[in-house]
Structure 1
Amino acid sequence: MSRAVYYASASLDGFDAAGLEPLGSEVPAPAGAVVMGAGTYARLRRQVEEEGTGAWDCPPAPVWVYTHHEFPGVEGADIMFVRGPVAEFAADIAASADGGDIWLRGADLAGQYLRHGLLDELRLTLHPVVLGAGQPVLPSAAGRSARLLAARPSADGSVLLSYGFG
């Protein structure tokens, strides 16, 4: 059964700190599918245009992009552009993941998944830094309880936290 997992990085004051570490600091389970919003896709597309197809940092899995915009695809990538509420495509995305994890890319999209009860796990690296401003790790997702699944400190003072929802 597929699980929707959001890998995120946060400051002590709860802001997205993705620039402080690459996703690779924790080796995620293999992705069965990747889901992202238009902003994340646009950023990745710019990287591909500037650096070539090697800059496409998604695994070889179906990629679903929630967008109201028209975007070109990425050569060699299996990309599906969709419009509508996240819950409308959840079953199709899970089917395309073929039992593998569904990786969520982008804080806004992860917040929508959480709000609709579709987020299964948050894998959060908490950094010992205060940013003072920025994008919240899970915007518009207030009122949801989580249970701690695991906590692991690292030598640099950051802590890897895993939370389950539901």
Structure 2
Amino acid sequence: MPRTIFYTATTLNGFLADDADSLDWLFRVPGGETAETGDAGFPDFFAGVGVMVEGSTTYEWVVAHEHLAEHPEKWQQFYGALPTFVFSTRDLPRVPGADIRFIRGPVSEHWEQIAAAAGDRDVWLVGGGDLVGQFADAGHLDQLRVSIAPVTLHSGRPLLPRVIESDRLRLESVDRTGQFARLVYSVGPPGS
């Protein structure tokens, strides 16, 4: 079975995005524009990824922010040919040439398909927090890799809007990349 990893950046007070789903707060932090790609460990992480999974809001933000309707080649430049599953209850535009699979319903209904697409490589949960919470609820979240930025927001989209008790989380590592503190936790199954 592949490992399922949520690799993301968050504000100091636990928000992935502001109320308008913007990441402008992240890009104002030195190194924030490349919070993942500027991380020395990201290339090794990404080399082990077999499939990406994201929610509709994350997908829409990436498409708009990178102007993928006008420049679909950008998808290939960063993500290559990785299959991407997008959970959505709405019809969304496709990025030409990208292997994007729109799905609806509970994580458990699609897990086997996602795992098969990943093969022996990892599943990268790109975002958002509620979708990651659904993976945790279903027992399909193995690791959290969170880069904490020196920023706070009044409100926004929470990192992980779920109760996951400390008996399920084990701190694996702590390090620093520029202005970011990076925490890696392994996640046990529900009821562990």
The two structures have a TM-score, normalised by structure 2, of: 0.77
2:73 match: 54
Match runs of 1:37-48 below 5 Å = 37-46=55-64, 47-48=67-68
One-letter identity of the residue aligned with 1:52: H
Match runs of 1:91-106 below 5 Å = 91-106=112-127
State the identity as a percent: 36
Mapped partners of 1:147, 1:95: distance in 2: 27
Match runs of 1:5-154 below 5 Å = 5-16=5-16, 19=24, 20=26, 21=32, 22=34, 23-26=36-39, 27=42, 28-30=45-47, 31-46=49-64, 47-49=67-69, 51-56=70-75, 57-106=78-127, 107-139=129-161, 141-144=162-165, 145-154=168-177
Mapped partners of 1:108, 1:48: distance in 2: 24
The two structures have a TM-score, normalised by structure 1, of: 0.87
Once the two structures are TM-superposed, the CA of residue 59 in structure 1 deviates from its matched residue by 3.9
Q: 1:85 to 1:15 in 2, by over 3 A?
A: same
The Cα RMSD (Å) is 1.8
- Contact 1:34–1:58 under 8 Å retained in 2: no
Gaps of 5+ in 1: none
Please give the secondary structure, in 2, of the residue aligned with 1:25: coil
Question: Residue by residue, what CA displacement relative to the aligned partner does 1:27-80 show, whole Å, maximum 9, x if unpaired?
Answer: 13322001111112222333312x411332434211111112122322221121
Once the two structures are TM-superposed, the CA of residue 137 in structure 1 deviates from its matched residue by 0.6
Gaps of 5+ in 2: 18-22, 27-31
1:163 match: 185
